[in-house]
């Protein structure tokens, strides 16, 4: 199967499967060849500088040879895009000390516009947040803490917790909704 013509005819999923099963870097090399231009373009879009984007691509692909063995990947294209995007966002966070989150994902608010991205404005808000965090199921609590307070990416949370990517997203979304509801109730009783 080492014939390069035959390798280039394989689907992404077949290349991935053969690489994971055999450890033969030729299969991963073909995936790398196919995706390096797309990942470079994505990194350039997020990071804005050619040199930083090139470094990011190298970092992403150097870590992939082991990462792909740890996950059950149904769609390599989607999975790789997510890994690359999270890597770029992590670089941006570290460089600029800024958290980039979609606005609709970020807000867990009450009437006073208190959000998870803001520091609580009062002792009451801080107490409400602490109390409500304690009421969340463990998975939601852990995912929210890692995402908002420790500024971890989805991919990092998957690595740290062992939860699937879809579960992490679900825990964060449901946790935010539960926090919002709880915080509103607690602040109304104060």
User: Where exactly are the structural domains of the chain?
Assistant: 4-96, 103-189
Share of the chain above pLDDT 90, in %: 5
Task: Classify residue 153 as exposed, middle or buried by CB count within 10 Å of its CB (0-12, 13-18, 19+).
Answer: buried
C-alpha span between 51 and 19 (Å, rounded)? 29
Q: What is the per-residue pLDDT across 4-42, written as a single tens digit (0 to 9) for each?
A: 558 888 888 888 888 888 888 888 888 888 888 888 888
* Residue 132 pLDDT exceeds 70: yes
Average pLDDT taken over every residue of the chain: 78
> Domain 4-96: which CATH class?
mainly alpha
What CATH fold (topology level) applies to the domain 103-189? Arc Repressor Mutant, subunit A (1.10.10)
Token pair of 89 as six digits: 């966002």
């Amino acid at each position: 199967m080492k014939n390069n013509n035959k390798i280039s005819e394989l689907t992404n999923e077949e290349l991935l499967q053969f690489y994971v099963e055999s450890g033969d870097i030729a299969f991963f090399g073909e995936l790398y060849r196919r995706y390096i231009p797309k990942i470079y373009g994505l990194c350039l879009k997020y990071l804005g500088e050619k040199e930083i984007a090139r470094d990011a691509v190298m970092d992403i692909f150097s870590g992939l040879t082991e990462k792909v063995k740890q996950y059950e990947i149904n769609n390599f294209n989607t999975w790789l895009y997510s890994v690359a995007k999270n890597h770029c966002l992590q670089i941006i966070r570290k460089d600029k000390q800024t958290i980039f989150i979609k606005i609709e994902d970020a807000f867990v608010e009450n009437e006073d516009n208190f959000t998870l991205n803001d520091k609580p404005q009062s002792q009451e808000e801080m107490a409400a947040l602490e109390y409500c965090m304690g009421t969340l199921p463990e998975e939601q609590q852990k995912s929210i803490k890692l995402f908002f307070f420790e500024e971890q990416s989805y991919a990092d949370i998957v690595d740290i917790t062992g939860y699937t990517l879809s579960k992490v997203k679900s825990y964060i979304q449901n946790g935010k909704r539960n926090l919002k509801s709880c915080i509103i109730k607690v602040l109304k009783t104060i």
